Chains A and B, each alone.
Chain A
């Protein structure tokens, strides 16, 4: 009997309360263990973890690698797997391995198999894939059924072929289908973070609005509290499912009406609406009341089913190889003449590289002069010390390093009118000051695709892991 079998044998109905433990908003960065243990004592019906995000940038989706270290990812996975299996509670992990493409799912599964062996855990695993077939995207593009989500160019067939990975964000449909297969653990590729937590209550018949609203909040663990933090949080749908309560499993973190309401702002362009593949959550009329100083009750969110199911698709493609140069300067004449120096160095580098490396780019990130700013630099005060982070891209790693190296030498010795620092314009913090920084990627897709057959898009496979059966060596 699996954990989901056991839960569904005697399921909470909408007339009972349903408790979901949000164990982590970012599995792999270190889940606080004490709050997780406290959460387990509240007998949750489900443990959910989000393991990924688009926020860390295109490198992870592009390369198939995880953003988190293997050591801490193993630690966190061990923590939640042992917690769930020891109490036979279903566990759902969404957006496996940072970006949720096939390679991320495979590395996460390898870790889970290794943990199962070392911890002697048995489990029935449902694995949900999120890679979107290129042929389908091309077909939908031809049919005019792919739409941009903001200031990003429309894709074309060449961009579809160039992308190293393309994933779609699955919604609660995929998780409900997986729950119906009655596993112990669900590991999903790219997923809506809400769906990890809303699928069980929706499957059991709880009203969708409050279930999705609760999911949207607990997917970030205790970020919605004051002070915010990464400890596990307990979301409890109350009998009838029209309201839910929130309580951090670290008692120093209070879920207050204001802190919870403010969470609707977090990383959202529209604080009133959460868009999902099969509908939209409207929180305009949500109300927040204090149950006590640590617990807040929320009600009033409305679910609007969509007439057309859509899936957000994300894709990343390789741009080139990157090398960086790290150096600083506190020379006032260097700082005054930055624009002149940069142009002079670019010209010198171009004259050296001509006939050798033609396809390259150089970007001077000059910290102290507004290098952090995407928009206006007008408010940045004049510095007395600056840091050069020079980003060099070329077709291969050796060429990128060559661009960085030539740039280094010409920046060090560039002459300009009024120059005092004839010994060198810059200080290097270490040697070598030019460093290969790996492959550079960019997001080429961040679009929505209309979907006719959502179940086909996110296929599920079942794997039985028997870590408790020790096979004799030999």
Chain B
């Protein structure tokens, strides 16, 4: 079987970020079908080491969870600064998905 390399942004139906409480950011990537979800789950670029490097955070501050009922990959990252503390740049954490957008699967 040959698998062509695809851009995450072309296959995912949702790529979003949001606070999960004021101490963490959660990124949700949702897929339209089982085939694309399985490709994404297997891709090294959506595993914790690659994502920690991409986000420039320590590996032990990031976790990846596969949630099959929604064909979703969830990434949770600790915030260095508690949400809304002066100097924070995204109180709701809703714009932290940008580094995911050029991922290739």
Residue from A152, A374, A446 whose CB has the most chain B CB atoms within 10 Å = A374
**Cβ A265 vs Cβ B86 within 8 A:** no
Chain A residues, CB < 8 A from B21: 54, 149-150, 269, 446
Determine, out of B3-11, B39-47, B71-79, the stretch whose residues face the partner at the interface.
Answer: B71-79
Q: Known A55-B92, A378-B56, A442-B86; judge A149-B72 contact (CB<8 A).
A: no
**Cβ B80 vs Cβ A151 within 8 A:** yes
Question: Does any Cβ of B come within 8 Å of A267's Cβ?
Answer: yes
Chain B residues, CB < 8 A from A303: none
Determine, out of A38-46, A256-264, A337-345, A453-461, the stretch whose residues face the partner at the interface.
Answer: A256-264
Give the complex CA separation of A342 and B89 in angstroms: 18
**Cβ A265 vs Cβ B70 within 8 A:** yes
**Cβ A374 vs Cβ B99 within 8 A:** no
Give the complex CA separation of A127 and B86 in angstroms: 34
Question: Does any Cβ of B come within 8 Å of A363's Cβ?
Answer: yes
**Cβ B69 vs Cβ A442 within 8 A:** no
Within 8 A of B (CB), among A335-394: 361, 363, 365, 371-376, 378-380, 391, 393
Q: Known A264-B67, A363-B86, A442-B86; judge A379-B98 contact (CB<8 A).
A: yes
Question: Does any Cβ of A come within 8 Å of B104's Cβ?
Answer: no
Shortest B51–chain A CB gap in Å is 10
**Cβ B82 vs Cβ A374 within 8 A:** no
Number of residues of chain B lying within 8 A (CB) of chain A:
47
- Complex: chain A residue closest to B29, CB-CB: A265
Question: Does any Cβ of A come within 8 Å of B90's Cβ?
Answer: yes
Interface of A is mostly: loop
- Complex: chain A residue closest to B54, CB-CB: A376
Give the complex CA separation of A81 and B76 in angstroms: 39
Chain B residues, CB < 8 A from A380: 98
**Cβ A264 vs Cβ B69 within 8 A:** yes
Q: Known A269-B21, A372-B98; judge A442-B89 contact (CB<8 A).
A: no
Question: Does any Cβ of B come within 8 Å of A440's Cβ?
Answer: yes
Shortest A222–chain B CB gap in Å is 17
Chain B residues, CB < 8 A from A288: 69
Chain B residues, CB < 8 A from A270: 65
**Cβ A57 vs Cβ B91 within 8 A:** yes
Question: Does any Cβ of A come within 8 Å of B38's Cβ?
Answer: no
Give the complex CA separation of A286 and B79 in angstroms: 30
**Cβ A286 vs Cβ B86 within 8 A:** no
Q: Known A266-B18, A267-B18, A269-B26; judge A151-B86 contact (CB<8 A).
A: no
Contact with B along A317-335 (1 / 0, CB 8 A): 0011010000000000000
Instruction: Kindly state the interface size class of chain A when it binds its partner.
Output: 35 or more
Chain A residues, CB < 8 A from B88: 374
Select which of B20, B70, B72, B96 is within 8 A of A375 by beta carbon.
B96
**Cβ A372 vs Cβ B90 within 8 A:** yes
Give the complex CA separation of A365 and B90 in angstroms: 11
**Cβ B102 vs Cβ A373 within 8 A:** no
**Cβ A319 vs Cβ B86 within 8 A:** yes
- Complex: chain B residue closest to A263, CB-CB: B70
Shortest B102–chain A CB gap in Å is 6
Give the complex CA separation of A55 and B93 in angstroms: 9
Q: Known A57-B83, A271-B72; judge A375-B77 contact (CB<8 A).
A: yes
**Cβ B72 vs Cβ A150 within 8 A:** no
**Cβ A391 vs Cβ B86 within 8 A:** yes
Q: Known A363-B86, A375-B57, A446-B82; judge A149-B23 contact (CB<8 A).
A: yes
Within 8 A of B (CB), among A249-285: 258, 261-262, 264-272
- Complex: chain B residue closest to A389, CB-CB: B89
Shortest B41–chain A CB gap in Å is 15
Give the complex CA separation of A277 and B17 in angstroms: 27
**Cβ B22 vs Cβ A443 within 8 A:** yes
Q: Known A264-B70, A265-B67, A443-B85; judge A151-B22 contact (CB<8 A).
A: no
Chain B residues, CB < 8 A from A264: 67, 69-70
Select which of A56, A59, A286, A322 is within 8 A of B69 by beta carbon.
A286
Chain B residues, CB < 8 A from A266: 18, 28
Give the complex CA separation of A134 and B42 in angstroms: 50
Chain B residues at the A interface, C-beta cutoff of 8 Å: 18-26, 28, 30, 54-57, 61, 65, 67, 69-72, 74, 76-93, 95-96, 98-99, 101-102
Chain A residues at the B interface, C-beta cutoff of 8 Å: 54-59, 149-152, 258, 261-262, 264-272, 286, 288, 319-320, 322, 361, 363, 365, 371-376, 378-380, 391, 393, 440-443, 446
Q: Could you give 5 example pairs across A and B, Cβ below 8 Å?
A: A58-B85, A150-B23, A258-B71, A271-B70, A372-B98
